[in-house]
A and B are shown apart, each in its own frame.
Chain A
Amino acid sequence: MSATAATESMIRQHRINLGLTALLVGLSVAGLLLGHVSLSPWQTLAQLFGGDERLAVIVLEIRLPRVALGLLVGASLGLSGAALQGLLRNPLAEPGILGVSASAGLGAVLALYFGLAQVSVWALPVCALLGALLATAFLALLALRDASPLSLILAGVAVSSLAIALTSLALNLAPNPLALSEMVLWLLGSLRDRGLSDVGLVVPFMALGWALLLSAGRELDALTLGEDTARSLGVGLGWLRIRVIGGAALTVGAATAVTGSIGFVGLIAPHLLRPWVGYQPSRVLLPSLLAGAALLAASDLAVRLIPTHQELMLGVVTALLGVPFFMHLLLRTRRTLP
């Protein structure tokens, strides 16, 4: 690659990041101005600055936490997906496939049904995080033993299935007629009615996780050349795996703790970006973070604006919005590549 080509691709990447950031800002503003109540954005603005207290509560206490959480969770999912796809060198990798989401869900459900959640408000998210970290610790042990990416994925699928089975068991045994809908809630996720305290809860874990994941870019690039070459370039494979898996667990575990597991974003965000930013993992990480956030913000906006009596589940909408894009990309890739 010549120097000018490299500069060109740098500029191109900056443009994509800037474009995505602009999109995020637009979606966030729309998220603050549009919502369940039948007021136009202009009316909302006018009344907000006209001193209507109810509008201030709606925008600042109901919509702002929701928008912020949507951005954080979407960004975490997109970033984790990109990093895991790089680490496992598998285009199907995503946080859900390693059992992180399912284990966090199990932790949360156990906290709920054994009454821990009533002891302290922190019990539920902490149990969800513990669940995610426990699953991750198991995977990390496997990763340290120098297992192949494939066996890591298979172990993740096994952990995920076990966590889902145990979640069903807990709900099955709980004397609660609402158990089934609880299960569905955990499987599809929602940003509904989350407050600023939820945002405060996830931020520290996500910040740490993001730092771990974003710092892995160069090493993930080296890994695309094969494990042996990466090792010869000085990449500590075990340490890299622990950082990426741990980072994914921290970010997605925290996300699942407050929103339930939202699928698909982590899988498709990197795929949406690769045609534009190239296939180097380090170049996919940041755009995937931004695209994940944008995808979730857009989905959440759709969930709030589609006039159904019962709000649609966020996971349903991420899939509905994401799948057409994804299929389009797949078809196009098939056409261009032999």
Chain B
Amino acid sequence: MIIAKHQLPSPLTGEGLGERVFLAATGTLTLTLSQRERELRSFKWASLARWLALVLALSPLAASALPRVASITPCADQYLLGLADPAQIVAVSTAATDPRQSLFVDEARRYPATRGSGEELIALRAEVVLTDRWMPLRVTERLERFGVKIIQIPLPETWDDIATATRSIAAELDRSAEGEARIAAMQTRLAQLAQQRPAPDTAPLAAYFLPGGASAGSGTFIDTVLKTAGVRNLAAELGWQGWGTFNLEQLTLTPPELLVMGFFDQGGDSVRMSFIRHPVFQRLMARVPVIHVPDRYWMCSGWFLTEAAAYIAERLPKTARRR
């Protein structure tokens, strides 16, 4: 641990300490020092040592020796800010303070933000770097050569997998208790949502959309969220496994009763939105309820997905809410 000299308050260390330390270090001063000055100097050295000991003792990092962790993707930011002890967070990604992408904007402001380059992370002396499984490997390889441990966050698709992932990442951060607390809160929330859920036969048929018209069938965390929210997933009922793209013809043939839109906060108006401008889709949007789920609730898969489900559940048409 290095403490910059200028951070030391002057009453404890005496004026001009830096200068004297420098002179002492050069070894030229001893010849010219008077006895009194020599006493004074030894006193100051003792004082400095005592002060350093105090700082070390008070530092929570030194006390608990938690690994120093940085996160470099929006998803990793959520796991880090949600699980870690504030003292062990050395940096977050620049997306962590973007309210569209992060649930922990205020907390994230307290930490330096990096763009995830190797030099930044090494300069911050990160011991562990949290990233996503789909992160480019070049950076992580280089970091590992510097002895930095890389933890890749998986994309769990079910609540059980989310609990497992949360548990293992919490363990890596040496924060197992916090991980269990998050999992317990998630289970409570899920139980709550299960009580509000409409009976399966009255659950509305929903189509989930990404800005490009992509959607998610069974075996995806989107499907997990939709089921938890109490809607039937059109893509899954059409027999999709994994991700795909809706086409207007299919939507016309099997019209959904509800549209759930994801990631439209950042997509904005774009080339990919041409299907939304199509008159057929415009009529569909005018006819059925449209729920825009804020991006930050499902930036990636984690315990916070309960909030995406709750967001949808709260906005379901009234007829579907009775159990």
Question: A192–B248 Cα gap in the complex (Å)?
Answer: 9
A178 x B266 contact (CB < 8 A)? yes
**Contact between A177 and B269, CB atoms less than 8 A apart:** no
A residues in contact with B252, CB < 8 Å = 54, 57-58, 62
- Given A57-B280, A193-B278, CB of A185 within 8 Å of CB of B271: yes
Q: Please report the C-alpha to C-alpha distance between residue A223 and residue B258 in the assembled complex, in whole angstroms.
A: 62
Q: How far is the CB of A53 from chain B (nearest CB, A)?
A: 9
- Indicate whether A36 sits within 8 Å of B279 (C-beta atoms), given known contacts A62-B252, A178-B266: no
Chain A residues whose CB sits within 8 angstroms of the CB of B272 once the complex forms:
178, 181-182, 185
User: Would you call B64 an interface residue if the criterion is a C-beta within 8 Å of the partner chain's C-beta atoms?
Assistant: no
Q: Residues of B contacting A178 with CB < 8 Å?
A: 211-212, 266-267, 270, 272
Question: What is the CB-to-nearest-CB distance from A157 to chain B, in angstroms, rounded to a whole number?
Answer: 25
Does A61 lie within 8 Å of B274, measured CB to CB? no
| Residue in chain A with minimal CB distance to B246 | A36
Count residues of chain B with CB under 8 A from any CB of chain A.
29
Given A36-B250, A112-B269, A177-B266: A192 and B214 interface contact (C-beta under 8 Å): no
Pick from B212, B271, B272, B280 the residue with the most CB of A within 10 Å. Answer: B271
- Closest approach, in angstroms, between the C-beta of B301 and any C-beta of chain A? 17
Residues of B within 8 A of A195 (CB): 277-280
Residue of A nearest to B95 (CB): A177
B269 and A36 within 8 A (CB)? no
- Interchain CB contact under 8 A, B280 and A310: no
Q: Taking CB as reference atom, which chain B residue is nearest A117?
A: B269
* A309 in contact with B278 given A178-B266, A193-B213 (CB within 8 Å): no
| A176 engages B247 (CB within 8 Å) | no
B243 adjacent to A309 (CB under 8 Å): yes
* Chain A residues numbered 169-195 whose CB sits less than 8 Å from any CB in chain B: 175-178, 181-182, 185-186, 192-195
Count, A-B residue pairs, CB within 8 A = 84
> B250-265 interface mask toward A, CB cutoff 8 Å, 1 = contact, 0 = none?
1011000000000000
Q: How far is the CA of A178 from the CA of B250 in the complex (A)?
A: 25
Residues of A within 8 A of B14 (CB): none
Q: Which one, A61, A118, A310, contacts B269 given CB within 8 A?
A: A118
Q: Identify B271's interface contact among A260, A309, A310, CB under 8 A.
A: A260
Instruction: Give chain B residues whose Cβ lies under 8 Å from the Cβ of A182.
Output: 270-272
Chain A residues, CB < 8 A from B268: 112, 176
Q: Given that A36-B247, A37-B249, A311-B245 are known contacts, is A192 also in contact with B275, CB under 8 Å in the complex? A: yes
Q: What's the minimum C-beta distance from B302 to chain A, rounded to whole angstroms?
A: 18
Asked if B240 is at the interface (CB within 8 A of a chain A CB), the reply is yes
* B222 CB → nearest A CB, Å: 14
Chain B residues with CB under 8 A of A54: 252-253
Q: A163 within 8 Å of B by Cβ? A: no
Q: Chain A, 74-116, contact with B by CB distance < 8 Å: what is the 0/1 string?
A: 0000000000000000000000000000000000110010010
User: Which A residues from 16 to 54 make CB contacts under 8 A with B?
Assistant: 35-37, 54
Q: Which of chain B's residues has its CB closest to A304's CB?
A: B247
B280 touches A181 (CB 8 A): no
**Does A225 have its Cβ within 8 Å of any Cβ on chain B?**
no
Interface string of B217-251 (1 = CB under 8 A from A): 00000000000000000000000101111011110
Report how far A193 CA is from B274 CA in the complex, Å: 6
Q: Which residues of A contact B (CB under 8 A)?
A: 35-37, 54, 57-58, 61-63, 108-109, 112, 115, 117-118, 121, 175-178, 181-182, 185-186, 192-197, 260, 309-311
The 5 closest A-B pairs by CB, nearest first: A309-B244, A193-B275, A36-B247, A36-B249, A37-B249
Q: Contacts A176-B268, A193-B248, A195-B278 given; 5 further ones with Cβ under 8 A?
A: A35-B247, A36-B247, A112-B268, A182-B271, A311-B247
Chain B residues in the interface with A (C-beta under 8 A) = 211-214, 240, 242-245, 247-250, 252-253, 266-272, 274-275, 277-281
18 A-B contacts (beta carbon < 8 Å): A36-B250, A37-B249, A54-B253, A61-B279, A61-B280, A62-B252, A63-B249, A112-B270, A178-B211, A178-B270, A181-B272, A185-B271, A186-B271, A193-B278, A195-B277, A195-B279, A260-B271, A309-B244
